[in-house]
Amino acid sequence: MFHGSPAAPQPLIFGNLYIAPESYPDVGGYFCDGGHPFVADGPPQAGFNDDAQSEASTEEPPAVAPPLSVEELRKLAKAEKRKRRRATLKYRTLHASRERIRVESFNKAFAQLRSLLPTTPADKKLSKIEILRVSISYIQYLNELLSLS
């Protein structure tokens, strides 16, 4: 699959309402290409590519932490036990199973939302971000219809 530049967004048409792609809701600079999100190109964040060595040379070394109490040592031991337990095959298997159920539930909810949306053509498969955008636009359209009545 080519991930160079996203396909141009298509306009949405609901009855007599035409929604141009430039009026789609802002989703924080994220676009979608075949269901795979990626961040739009833009100016780098301030300080993102700063030279780490120059910063390290100007900072003071961290202060030494005070010795731990017996209670704090017990808490650390409990945290270490939790960490080891989470590394077991049984825990990972259960976690993967719960995650699979969560994702299936999420996908069913998107499928249900998708079934309620009018699209052109009707057989076009929408990505999740497109489902959300069309849903927002459709709700806005329905609100406008209600306010005109």
Of residues 102 and 10, more confidence is placed in 102
The 10s digit of each residue's pLDDT in 17-50 is: 556 666 655 555 444 444 444 444 444 444 444 4
pLDDT (tens digit, 9 = 90+) per residue, 130-139?
A: 999 999 999 9
Q: Is pLDDT at 84 greater than 70 in this prediction?
A: yes
Residue 10 class from Cβ within 10 Å (0-12 exposed, 13-18 middle, 19+ buried)? exposed
Stretch 60-72: mean pLDDT, rounded?
A: 69
User: Mean per-residue pLDDT for 111-121?
Assistant: 85
| Structural domains of the chain ordered from first start | 70-148 (4.10.280)
Strand 12-14, strand 36-39: pairing: unpaired
pLDDT band of residue 82 (cuts 50, 70, 90) is confident
